[in-house]
Structure 1
Amino acid sequence: MIERLKSWLVGYQKEKSLKPADEERLELLKKGPIPRHVAIIMDGNGRWAQKRGMPRIAGHRAGMKTVRHITRAADDLGIEALTLYSFSTENWKRPQDEVNYLMGLPEEFLRTDLDELVRRNIRVGMVGREEELPEHTLRAIEGFKAGTEGNTGMMLSFALNYGARSEMIQAVKWIIDDVESGKVDKGEVDEGLFDQYLYTSNLPDPDLMIRTSGEVRISNFMLWQLAYSELWFTDGLWPDFSRELFYKAIEDFQRRSRRYGAV
């Protein structure tokens, strides 16, 4: 218990040690419009490791540290929701040892970060298909949900086993079932109702989508929800993505004029 407390205190001190310049910039950013929901495609872990002659798994471990830093930065800004594209429905095609490692990351994150998430009043959730996930991964996700269910602050969601096309097809099937059973009238089906059948039904649509690694595409991520999102791309790989770059993305968002199709 004493050792755990020491570890907690060290982590807390590191968490609070923002540079004065970062604190000043944070306050300036807060004076402008802040996106309610930021979604991030965390790309480049494998390339980051390969450039350093390390196994791809080392890149995922480094990427998990970036998750921690950016979660703090988003929470400090007062962002309501942060969704991280962690594992797509296509990622099962990767080497088995890499898949196994990725499926174990939620357990590791639960052990190391739950206390801080509770302290910061952050809630944790998941978007994606649970059916194919290993039991130990689901247990970790449920541990996060149970451990943070009383929190009322930022919603941190991990997109696991997620694919936007399959999400929309599943939503259509659920709507058909409810129409056939009489729960829903066909005339009631509109965009608002469709939203309620998506994995993200508890979240606002993203105002800003960020992708790292230099790829300029959205890769089957939130195809419906990103209809009017601002998109921001950077050549930097995810393990190198910093609070500084995150602030840059927010600054760029604040300079844009969002008209949603109006003049």
Structure 2
Amino acid sequence: MMDFRKIANISVDCVVFGFDNININILLSRRMLNMHDLKYPVIDDWVLTGDHVFKSERLDESAVRIFKELTGFEDVYKKQFRTFGNPERIKNEKDLLWLKSKGVEARVMSVAYYFLLPAERVDLKNGDTKWFPLKNLPHLGFDHEEIIVRAFDDLKQKVMSEPVIFEFLPDKFTLNELQIAYESVLNTTIDNRNFRKKAICKSYIVPLDEKRVGSSKKPARLFMFSKDIYEKTSSKNSIISF
């Protein structure tokens, strides 16, 4: 039987990375509180989406629940990458006021996950959630800036050793879209001709008899990522190196 009581000092924070064919973005939630009392500051900023863990809930289940409530999805790549438990991590006046208003303890252990998906998959229905370019984030509450930095550092390492870059792309993609995704994550410029040669040599990047027709660009051939081929040949087919 599910116990929906929440554990007071254990929470899960979700870093949602989304690629929009130009930038890597972070999905943030708006945090607002006005006590209508001059003694207290007005809170109007942005935070990662998180929640406390239910007593009968596994950490992964909690992360999926929070992510699904935020995006409507649950079948995307996720990774638990770090726990944040510094006793000094929450000391800002606004953060302490926010926790007090929610009846939550100031000393909270946060288990952080990140999720990867194409930004266009998420239907933003109101102004309470918004995509922000990773390079241009607003002021964030709590220690969420540090959590995002740590998540992105982990993602960059993951991209160079596993095929997680394809989580950012639609099922059918162009090599140019794949290159831009790599460039966005690795914060570098990649030689186009050299990249195409390396990508085409990878058997798990499968060419299709289809092209993407744009309004102003020459039609580009579409490709797909084959997880089955990658898993069967991963020892021979390393991730594209730069």
Name the TM tier (shorter chain).
under 0.3
More strand by share: 2
TM-score (norm 1): 0.22
Query: Which structure dedicates a bigger proportion of its chain to helix?
Result: 1
Larger radius of gyration: 2
TM-score if structure 2 supplies the norm length?
A: 0.24
